[in-house]
């Protein structure tokens, strides 16, 4: 048995106003993409499982970006960080945090979208293609440089996903737990003596 998960251990800060937890499937491994990713010169691609596992360390700490129309990448609009990655079967799963206080419009929009409508896409550098003449490019080595949140039907892999996880917000004596859809699960107010 081989364990291929990696994570950055961040200190737990309950109710941190700028950490909105998320999880997703960044890509599929050993499976051809549904469409050609940007930069692949019109070729569909296969990221091998071996290449994905070897590149996991390069994924941690990388940024998550978005475009306001949710149709692609914008590496200059970094709205979060990847803190965990794992290869589970044919899925490269990730989790991390959005900067909710810095990008409230992103969090609000992601809480309003239909479940299952959002996906992800990876950003790579130093990718090695086994045979540039092949109709489907097989990536045998790469370095992850980030990821994008986008509409699932705009992603090269339609099997990707993105969702906000339930989190706890704590402000001025108020504690609120919400699920990924923004529905309040628990609300508590406390009074502090002065």
| pLDDT single digits (tens) 46-87 | 999 999 999 999 999 999 999 999 999 999 999 999 999 999
Query: In this predicted structure, what is the pLDDT of residue 191?
Result: 36
Q: CB-based burial of residue 175 (10 Å sphere; 0-12 exposed, 13-18 middle, 19+ buried)?
A: middle
Give me the phi and psi of 25, to 5 degrees please.
Answer: -105, 115
Position 166 scores a pLDDT of: 78
Helix/strand/coil percent split, the chain, to 5: 10, 45, 45
Contact 162, 153 (CB under 8 A): no
| Spatial distance between the Cα atoms of 11 and 93, rounded to a whole number of angstroms | 21
pTM for the whole structure:
0.82
Ranges of residues in the chain with a pLDDT under 50 are 1-3, 169-176, 184-194
Enumerate the H helices of 7-83 as residue ranges: 49-59
Q: How far apart are the first and last CA of the chain?
A: 57
> DSSP secondary structure string, 83-148?
EEEEEETTEEEEEEEE-TTT-HHHHHHHHHSPTT-EEEEEEEEEEEES-TTSSEEEEEEEEEEEEE
Interacting residues of 110 by C-beta distance below 8 A, sequence separation 6+: 98, 118, 149, 162, 164
């Amino acid at each position: 048995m081989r364990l291929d998960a990696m994570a950055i251990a961040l200190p737990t800060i309950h109710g941190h106003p700028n950490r909105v937890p998320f999880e997703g499937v960044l890509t599929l491994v050993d499976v051809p993409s549904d469409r050609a990713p940007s930069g692949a010169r019109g070729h569909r691609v296969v990221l091998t499982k071996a290449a994905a596992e070897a590149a996991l360390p390069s994924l941690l700490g990388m940024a998550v970006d978005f475009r306001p129309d949710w149709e692609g990448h914008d590496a200059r609009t970094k709205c979060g960080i990847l803190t965990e990655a794992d290869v589970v079967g044919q899925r490269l799963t990730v989790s991390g945090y959005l900067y909710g206080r810095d990008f409230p419009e992103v969090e609000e929009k992601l809480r309003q979208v239909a479940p299952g409508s959002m996906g992800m896409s990876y950003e790579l550098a130093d990718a090695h293609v086994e045979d540039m003449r092949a109709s489907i490019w097989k990536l045998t080595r790469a370095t992850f440089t980030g990821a994008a949140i986008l509409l699932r039907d705009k992603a090269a892999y339609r099997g990707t996903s993105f969702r906000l996880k339930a989190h706890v917000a704590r402000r001025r004596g108020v504690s609120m737990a919400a699920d990924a859809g923004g529905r309040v699960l628990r609300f508590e107010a406390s009074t502090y003596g002065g």
